A and B are shown apart, each in its own frame.
Chain A
Amino acid sequence: MTTSVDPALTPSLDVAPKRRLTPRAAFTVALLLVLAFLPLYATLTGDAFVLTLFTRVIILAIGAVSLNLIMGYGGMVSFGHAAYLGIGGYAVGILAKEGIASGFIQWPVAIAASALYALAVGALSLRTRGVYFIMITLAFAQMAYYVTIGLDRYGGDDGLPIRQRSQFGGLIDLTNKTAFYYLCFVLLLVCIYLIWRIVNSRFGLVVQGARVNDRRMRAIGFPTPRYKLVCFVIAGAMCGLAGALLANHTNFISPAMMHWTRSGDLIVMVVLGGLGSLFGPLIGTATFILLQEALSRVTQYPDLFLGPLLLLVALYVHGGIQGLLEGRRE
């Protein structure tokens, strides 16, 4: 970071940014370039593992990006977001087992099922606030988790292998690792673009206004609960897509996909990267997964080191890694 910026002039989340290549923008562009050329690197070096690892980063980043929509922009801290990964995954896995391999059916079902689940959870949990909201979203996710454990036909506790990835009638072959990687990458970019449009639209401003001062929004004349609910459903649907991708990536579904620790990981990824920033969740996910991967090579207990790191970020860095790149400190 070469420039020191007067904090009063720092463009904030809610103020239109100046058109200048900030360290933050430069980092984001660099990361996107790395992601765009990763398959080339993997082919040249013959390192297939790096492609698998980054496919995982990108899929989970879609989940984190969707969580950021409700948590970062909407102020709704959902502690059950992994449930959508599971629902999206199980939609693909169950349909595959029942002989419906077409992605044109599987993926819309994954998205619709997640949206429906979000509608039910949101309708009930959005009546509460703060800790209660967190606990209710967690409780629903745990319920979904135990339901999948009870699905004996689909592997129960052990999970279910998926023999055939989603079929798109020759349009794209998901067994081709590079093709699958690029599909995930494009979908991630589409999701980020959608969120960018949404948060700056009238709808998005209502949701953000409700985060900052819900009481005033209602006094002005916005029935905020219904806007928040729609936002919650959009995020759920988006994460359901990530679940469908994840099932295709691992060729396997299991209740562990929606374990509460996975929901916690998603929150960590968002906070680590930068709450309420467009690319923050992607940066957070990449950092989290790569650190976890690197640490697990040198120690048996990667969380022992990840934990303190997160603590430092939470205590000293306002706005996660994105905030750090901006030179914002608390």
Chain B
Amino acid sequence: MRKHGLSLSGIALMVSILFLGGCWDRSEINDMAIVTAAAIDKLDGQSIELTLQLFIPKALGGGSGSGGGAPSGGQQLTFVRSGKGLNIADAASKLQARLPRRIFWGHCKVFILGEAFAREGVKEEMDYLFRHPQPRERAFMFVSQGQAAEMLRPVPPLERYTAEVARELSEQKIGIRVTLKEFLEMLDGEGQAAALPYLRLQPPQKGEKKNQSVPFIAGTAVFKRDKMNGLLTMRTTRGALWLRKEIQKASITVRLQGTKREFITMTPIRQRIEIKPRIHDGQWIIHVHIHTVGDLVQNGTNLDPMNPDLLHLMEQAVQRSIADRVEEALDRLQRNLNADIIGFGESFHRAYPKPWRQARERWDELFPKVQVRMDIRVNIRRPGLGSVPAAVPSDEVKEK
């Protein structure tokens, strides 16, 4: 019978080596400063300021007895610290010098870039986030109005800390949702343009304390190469989302033609969006097919939606609204900002590799000239729980 040949002294030797050497990577949780969000700003055009939102374990009540649970009263769960340096790595190490615990990026889900910093170009600092093994690629990126650090300071009423707020907002996909990986992809993609959600602080309302405000998504920051060069409003963002095929549960409110102030609202549930590139006689064309399906949510007119013809009117109205939004977005992106964040370049590359290879140097000139033909179809499938408009007496309901 075969011995597996491991003598007792061999085992003892091995074990002692492990312990004499020490455990090099051992780190206790309580020796770590857990970062929940990071904000990057550029100061006087030279140095980088890195602000970290760090978690306070003590605030959860400690481990003795009843431990865990929500913080008592308005006690803050996180606190904020800044460090300055030549780049992020440098700033991080200066910041570390002022913290009793080691910075741990593993749970940082939110990165906010200050607007000033974004406008000057972000590519050097992006390298740190890409190369260092700790930051997660799944973290969400934002651009903030003004100083990014300001986004981290307030204490939000609903979530535990502002990083949560930003993250949850992103998940809802009202604006653009961009992870670190996607941002990097956009930056070195064919379109050479990128977009990030734009955060703004909501001013505190009456009765709320000064620091009790909440950041919210106010639009989209558009980057050309790695510099931010413009902003899309929420309206225009909506159009861009249609083109990026990222629209989710937004709601579309539209005024019916011929009426002054009567609106209907519809929520799209499912959409099929196809972006087809075509080169025809030297003219670069993109066909956008949008087919969206949804339910009626609010009917402010006195038209009866149960009538297919009247329903069709409503659908047309929604169609026009979508077309308008998309037009607006295209206008701004193609002519105004000249930033291809909608993936037109990629589409052409995939469909027409050879012409693309010749043309890609001149994409800056070509992009504004791309013609966009839209084909939008809307179907309202269900009227919700009510049929005729509510609170309208039956004789006023238009059935034809």
Determine if chain A interacts with chain B. no
